[in-house]
Amino acid sequence: MDAEAVAYEMELPREEEAKSERKSRKAAKETREERAMKDEKTRETEQKAEHRAPSPERPSLRAQSDEQAITDLPGVGAATAEKLIGAGFDDMMSIAVATPGQVVDAAGVTEVMARKIIKAARDNLDMGFQSGIDVLQKRNNLIRISTGVKAFDAIVGGGFETGSITECFGQYGSGKTQVAHALAVNVQEADPSAIVIYIDTENTFRPDRIISFAQAKGLDPEKVLANIRVGRAYNSDHQMLLAEKVEEMIKEGLNVKLFIVDSLTAHFRAEFVGRGTLAERQQKINKHMHILSKLADLYNLAVYVTNQVMAKPDQFFGDPTEAIGGHIVGHNSTFRIYLRRGKKGTRVAKLIDAPNMPDAECVFNVTEHGLEDA
């Protein structure tokens, strides 16, 4: 037998082995595809069965979001769900209130698929209109945090209410931070288990003031301080990141009732200089305040923010003081209060915007023991 015949006979087994290996790979691939299609059909059948199943009583939005997993949404598999959870979208409610752009950035899906996912989440939560009676019942569950000054509480309807953003703006030394310290103590007087979140952007949080206020109320200073979580923000991005982490803290079981940002615009004002950066600054402030508003509404907590001011040089009559942030901050704040110094060391609080209260003002004192009636 010549060399070519020998080589040919040796190649035959190799070709047959290669053909056999290709057939095995093809069969394995078809098996995996069939299994995936079968799993998908099973999931669709289960979802249809769940939608057809009658329920005598529809659960609340929060209960539904807890019961249903985000993997039940169309187009959300294990990998996509992991990406969404990593970005903070870990329940139906967080996805339902998200924008398509946020879902696209978090999960890497197309905009069409993002809209489909959000629509499915909203359908599961039945996010529609509520009757006026439902809104009234929700408002009956609001908590009002006292300032310690009867006249101050009166002009805001009994205290700083949960579910809303209350903004106090004024010059330095007008009492904005003192109000924040007083609220942090007073909320714990009403509910000893209440947790206070305090984002400090100007290094103004003082534990010794908390101790003085707590002792005046007959509270344990150490316990009061232990229930206050202070985050020192060093720039606007850090400030926004801290605000986003609050929702994680609430989901871990913290009974957060008060969220303080002192001050709201200090970092934004320092980082965005000139008219050329005004649009970007306002967009970031708007996003930040939307996060605060969402937390206040979803978890029934009070948000108190302090704001800096500027003087209008073109105003020749009246008070030239104006809050920083423009209309963005004004529209997002439920209550706006202007603080200024009064006569003989007093402070004046003037309510200039509220959805259900008339414009009014009051006078109070800032003392070693807290805020007191003048």
**Residue ranges, CATH 1.10.150.20, the chain:** 39-125
**Residue ranges, CATH 3.40.50.300, the chain:** 136-373
- Annotation: CATH topology of 136-373: Rossmann fold (3.40.50)
CA 266 to each of CA 1, 120, 183, 321, 336: distance values in angstroms, whole numbers, following the listed order: 93, 40, 21, 16, 18
Please tell me the pTM assigned to this model. Answer: 0.75
Give the pLDDT confidence of 266-303 residue by residue, as tens digits: 999 999 998 899 999 999 999 999 999 999 999 999 99
Tell me whether strands 370-373 and 360-367 are parallel, antiparallel or unpaired: antiparallel
Residue closest to 108 by CA, chosen among 90, 84, 130:
84
pLDDT band at 62 (very low <50, low <70, confident <90, very high): very low
CATH number (3.40.50.10420, 1.10.150.20, 3.40.190.10, 3.30.420.10) of 39-125 reads 1.10.150.20
Number of H helices, E strands in the chain: 15, 13
Give the pLDDT confidence of 228-270 residue by residue, as tens digits: 999 999 999 999 999 999 999 998 999 999 999 999 999 999 9
